Structure 1
């Protein structure tokens, strides 16, 4: 009861969707995930997680995180798709800093189509059915490996979950745009909490969690030592406007969306 009461109390306080935008001059100064470590270049996560970049008519930029579920299909959060955005690009690159050799023109893949969940809802405090599919103009590099979707039944081989993204490390950070990851104990994961189908809550977020820019990023389970996608990061909750990245992370529980994903992937080609 103590955990449930605490979760409810935090949900009723300030929250912020984990998507972010930055001015053009700061395009190479994105911040990263809370309490995480930089993902090594040889880590398998590098070949599964991508940055989603949006550009506006006036030259502004917005970004989110996404997960490759096919060679040319990305699963992300629905709230990452914004009517103010003119074009979207997917960037399969671990490091967007100037020192890395990253070039936005050569490393970006245009998004040609997208589908948002038809029952996506932003009520101003929480997001529901916050999932979207993106179709790429071409496949990601051959060494990228699409992530299997967790079916909700397979036995887990580890008692930790892994989060990854290109978002902030804190509410006020300005870090280089580098993919980071962190882990949380499975015991702190609540699925379909209080009957909310399609949702998973990751509690105990004071030290490790997600922040702006991590929207659409993965919550991975491990099955037989293999990463499988169990959640899509949606929203973060904190007790006030200064600590919203150090509270609870809400994600969309992937097993509940597999039928929707399978139904809509073919529609991306139309």
Structure 2
């Protein structure tokens, strides 16, 4: 399996025009929400989601040490505004070496920032997930692989669980394409994107996007979307949020 990292180059951050679809054709997210774009001084971009008024959840591989990070807001004219982050905490069990070797690791991080947005609730218990179950992702990534101008718009896709889901990794696919042809899925810039599940009538964050493949498990987008579930790491998220003075959304 040839997995792709989903970090968008900052040189492609600000689109000249709104794209029509995430990979395969997912619609933009409407209304207020806490999804954010995170950009780094090394030229990378990812997605995150507010889980408290001043705290963003994202993937650990999106915020490696040695760089500065900002959040991007867009006004009604799609003009970007950068906001400073205050601190970053990566899960202590995250291993970049393990991640680079395409193995599951604690790919979870928290970013402290003033006014993160509308917080989403996090589900901390182990999920009972079976192949065919539906999860929804939000991301600012590319809609067309290799076309940097197609990124920068928050879009949503509902995908189906495939394979043997567990507490270390969940794989998603477009139920219409079934990883046999290009379809909906995370793409470059969607690392750290929130993964939601309807639990008791509430859309709750249950994981973050870590990687993708093209159809047939080739490198790229539009095949599989790899998710790091949060159940194992929820105690760390709660404890770290308290230390940062940012209690989670109820």
TM-score normalised according to structure 2 size: 0.79
Output the CA distance in 1 between the equivalents of 2:188 and 2:23: 10
Q: What residue is the counterpart of 2:35 in the other structure?
A: 49
Q: Over residues 183-208 of structure 1, what are the superposed CA-to-partner deviations in whole Å (9 max), with x where a residue is unaligned? A: 1134x36422xxxx422121434411
Say yes or no: does 1:135 pair with 2:112: yes
Q: In 2 relative to 1, CA 68–259 (structure 1 residues): closer, same or farther, beyond 3 Å?
A: same
Say yes or no: does 1:208 pair with 2:184: yes
Output the CA distance in 2 between the equivalents of 1:133 and 1:228: 17
Q: In 2 relative to 1, CA 148–35 (structure 1 residues): closer, same or farther, beyond 3 Å?
A: same
Runs of 4+ in 1 over 6 A off after TM superposition: 239-242
Instruction: State the Cα distance separating 1:243 from its structure 2 match.
Output: 4.7
Residues 1-270 of structure 1 correspond to what in structure 2 (within 5 A)?
13-23=1-11, 26-29=12-15, 33-42=22-31, 46-56=32-42, 61-83=43-65, 85=67, 87-93=68-74, 100-105=76-81, 108-122=82-96, 123=98, 124-126=100-102, 127-136=104-113, 138-141=114-117, 144-152=118-126, 159-174=133-148, 175-186=150-161, 188=162, 190-192=164-166, 197-203=167-173, 204-205=178-179, 206-238=182-214, 243-268=219-244
Instruction: State the Cα distance separating 1:116 from its structure 2 match.
Output: 0.7
Output the CA distance in 1 between the equivalents of 2:186 and 2:35: 15
Q: Over residues 66-91 of structure 1, what are the superposed CA-to-partner deviations in whole Å (9 max), with x where a residue is unaligned? A: 01111111110001013452x21223
Q: What SS does the corresponding residue of 1:208 show, helix, strand or coil?
A: coil
Unpaired runs of 5+ residues, structure 1, are 1-12
- Is the CA contact (8 Å cut-off) linking 1:33 and 1:214 kept in structure 2? no
- Is the CA contact (8 Å cut-off) linking 2:14 and 2:80 kept in structure 1? no
Q: In 2 relative to 1, CA 159–83 (structure 1 residues): closer, same or farther, beyond 3 Å?
A: closer
Q: What residue is the counterpart of 1:5 in the other structure?
A: none
Larger Rg: 1
- Is the CA contact (8 Å cut-off) linking 1:171 and 1:243 kept in structure 2? no
Output the CA distance in 1 between the equivalents of 2:128 and 2:4: 32
Output the CA distance in 1 between the equivalents of 2:194 and 2:25: 14
Number of positions where the alignment pairs a residue of Structure 1 with one of Structure 2: 232
Instruction: State the Cα distance separating 1:240 from its structure 2 match.
Output: 8.1
Structure richer in helix, relative to its length: 1
TM-score normalised according to structure 1 size: 0.74
Output the CA distance in 2 between the equivalents of 1:154 and 1:239: 26
Output the CA distance in 2 between the equivalents of 1:22 and 1:140: 20
